[in-house]
Amino acid sequence: MKAWRLHEPGGPGAFVLEDLPTPGPEPGWVLIKVAAFGLNRSEWFTRIGESPTVKLPRVLGIECVGTVVRAPSGELEEGQRVAAMMGGMGREFDGSYAEYTSVPAANVFPLETELPWDVVGALPEMLQTCHGSLHTGLGVEPGETLLIRGGTSSIGLTTLAMAKAAGLRVISTSRSDAKVDVLRKAGADEVVIDDGKLGPTIRHDCPAGVDRVLELIGTTTLLDSLQCVRPGGVVCMTGILGGEWELASFRPMGHIPTGVRLTSYSGGASDISREDLQRYVSLVERGELTIRTGPVWSFDQLPLAHQAMDENRANGKMVVVVE
C-alpha cells in the first residue's frame, strides 16, 4: 500500500510517500480500506517534533473513515462503512495517512450514511471531541451561555453548531476582524475579538460571568478565561492553539476565582457511544447539524494540506480523500 510516513520532524515536506506492507489485522483488530481522513492538530504537533511519545518512523493519522476489509474476530462485516479513531492510532501504531490501516475493534464505529467520503471524513474525531468537551468536560445545560475561545478552529465551529442545537447561547472569539462574519454565519450570538484579555469585555456583556468556557487556545489565555466565568461555572481546556504547554506560574488560590471549576478534556473514542456518533452523523446528513468543513485534498496533496495548517488557512476541518 501507499502511505505517507514521517521519519524526522520537520516542515510540511517531511512526509515521505512510501510502499509499505498492508497491515494484517491481529485478532481483535479491524483492517480498514481508508476512504478519507480528517487532519488534526495533534498530527501537526507530531510533525513539528512536539509529541515526544510518538516514536518515528510512523504513519500518522489519528482517525479515518472507510470500509472494513477484514475483522478476524468477526466484530464487523466486510464492506461495512466505518469510522476509526484514537486508541494509539497514528501514535503508538501506524495510522490513517495510508491506503489501509489496522485498528483495535474497540476504536471502530459502524456508520450508516450515504454522505460522501469527503464530508463524513471530517466528522469522527471532531464529533467525539466536541461532544466530549460539551458533556464530559463542561456538563452544559440548555439556556446556558458558553464562551468558545479559539472559535474559528474546526473544533470551535463544530462545538458552536452542537451548542446551538443543544439550546445554548454562544459567544465565540477570533483574533481577526476578518473572521467575524465566519462566526456570525456559523450561528454565534456574539463575536468577540480576542486580544488575550477578555475578562472585562465579557463582564460588560455578562456581569456575573458566563456559565461555561471552552478553552481552545490553552495556557496562554487560560488564566484570563477563569476571570470570565461565574461562581459554579466551568472552564474546560480542550485545545492548545497558543502552542504553550505549560503555565509559567500558577497560583491556584489567586488564579481560580472562588467557586469556579477548572477541568480539561483529552478524551478518547470511549467518550462517545456508537449511538451518539451515528445520531450526529444522521443530523449532518439531514442538514440539521451544519459542520463547517475546510479544504478537501487528494492523497498526493498531503504536504500541501499540512502547509495550510501551518498558515491557519483552513477555517474548518480539512479532509484528505484517499479513494
Ligand X SMILES: NC(=O)c1ccc[n+]([C@@H]2O[C@H](COP(=O)([O-])OP(=O)(O)OC[C@H]3O[C@@H](n4cnc5c(N)ncnc54)[C@H](OP(=O)(O)O)[C@@H]3O)[C@@H](O)[C@H]2O)c1
The contact set with ligand X (CB under 6 A) reads 40-42, 129, 150, 152-155, 174-176, 179, 216-217, 238-243, 265-267, 309, 312, 314
Of 18 and 50, which CB lies nearer to ligand X in the complex structure? 50
Nearest approach, Cβ of 18 to ligand X (angstroms)? 26
Q: For residues 76 and 163, which CB has a smaller minimum distance to ligand X in the complex? A: 163
Q: Tell me how far, at minimum, the Cβ of 230 lies from ligand X, in Å.
A: 24
CB of 136 to ligand X, least distance (A): 10
Q: C-beta of 74: minimal distance to ligand X in Å?
A: 30
Nearer to ligand X, 152 or 227 (CB): 152
Choose between 111 and 309: whose C-beta lies nearer to ligand X.
309
Q: Which CB sits closer to ligand X, 89 or 155?
A: 155
207-175-168 Cα angle (round to 5): 45
Secondary structure, 3-state, the chain? CEEEEECCCCCHHHEEEEECCCCCCCCCEEEEEEEEEECCHHHHHHHCCCCCCCCCCECCCCEEEEEEEECCCCCCCCCCEEEEECCCECCCECCCCECEEEEEHHHEEECCCCCCHHHHCCCHHHHHHHHHHHHHHCCCCCCCEEEEECCCCHHHHHHHHHHHHCCCEEEEEECCHHHHHHHHHCCCCEEEECCCCCHHHHHHHCCCCEEEEEECCCHHHHHHHHCCEEEEEEEEECCCCCCCCCCCCCCHHHHCCCCCEEEECCCCHHHCCHHHHHHHHHHHHCCCCCCCEEEEEEHHHHHHHHHHHHCCCCCCEEEEECC
**Nearest distance, CB of residue 147 and ligand X, angstroms:** 14
45 vs 93 by CB, closer to ligand X: 45
Q: How far apart are CA 238 and CA 266, in angstroms?
A: 6
Question: In the complex, which residue's CB is closest to ligand X?
Answer: 239
| Residue 274 Cβ vs ligand X, minimum distance, rounded to whole Å | 18
Closer residue to ligand X, CB minimum distance, 145 or 174? 174
Q: How far is the CB of 266 from ligand X (least distance, A)?
A: 4
